[in-house]
Amino acid sequence: MKTETPSVKIVAITADEAGQRIDNFLRTQLKGVPKSMIYRILRKGEVRVNKKRIKPEYKLEAGDEVRIPPVRVAEREEEAVSPHLQKVAALADVILYEDDHILVLNKPSGTAVHGGSGLSFGVIEGLRALRPEARFLELVHRLDRDTSGVLLVAKKRSALRSLHEQLREKGCKKITWRWCAVSGSRM
């Protein structure tokens, strides 16, 4: 394990990032930092917006300047070859459609959409590894690990909000088809 101490970072909020809470914004900026530490630096006033202290529920506006203090994070040593390298490379082959706002892919059965609960790898982690330059990649919806099908990934916060609203308001529809195979003569 090595530790990395970055310097103070000043981030200008874009129109696409506006409207989200500062605590959620910091979680995207400080990957791997525990939530408790994020709330601690907010509480101590180390994070500033437009040179002023703010509360965790503060909603960011376009043009805000966020001061992010240096945060000491223990990083795991990367293996020479990632055990998931083949899975990451395979993701490029299942992309069905992509534009500036969304990415649509055909998720294979047996792959989780995100890591967690004992899983270190999921589609979203693979996409982030495949596209390290992408500022924003978030799942619009989920599919079970054993389910194959079309998966939407937002490339902009505005697209994510719009698609979530459409799903909520029934502006678009999710369709599930189930296939069943029966073997033997028993019915």
82 against 150, higher pLDDT: 150
Alpha helices in 46-185 (DSSP H): 85-91, 123-130, 157-168
Share of the chain above pLDDT 90, in %: 43
Are the beta carbons of 157 and 147 closer than 8 angstroms? no
Per-domain residue ranges of the chain: 2-75, 85-168
Residue located via tokens 């792959």: 111
What band does 90 get if pLDDT is binned at 50, 70 and 90? confident
CA 143/CA 178 separation, integer angstroms: 13
> Within 13 Å and on the Cβ side, how many CA atoms surround 173?
3
> pLDDT tens digits, residue range 39-80?
999 999 999 999 999 999 999 999 999 999 998 766 554 443
Among 16, 23, 100, 144, the one annotated catalytic: 144
Is 146 tagged catalytic? no
pLDDT tens digits, 23-42: 989 988 887 788 899 999 99
Average confidence (pLDDT) over 93-105: 93
pLDDT for res 81: 41
Tell me what the mean pLDDT of segment 168-172 comes to. Answer: 87
Per-residue pLDDT tens digits for 101-113: 999 999 988 888 8
Q: Average of pLDDT values for 89-101?
A: 89
Q: Which of 21-35, 95-109, 119-133 has the highest mean pLDDT?
A: 95-109
Mean pLDDT of 13-19: 89
Q: Global pTM?
A: 0.66
Q: Which CATH homologous superfamily contains domain 85-168?
A: Pseudouridine synthase (3.30.2350.10)
Contacts of 79 (CB under 8 A, 6+ apart): none
Query: In this predicted structure, what is the pLDDT of residue 77?
Result: 47
User: DSSP labels for 50-68?
Assistant: TTEE--TTPBP-TT-EEEE
What is the per-residue pLDDT for 73? 64
User: What is the reported pLDDT for 186?
Assistant: 62
- Any idea which fold 2-75 has? 3.10.290
State the pLDDT at residue 110.
87
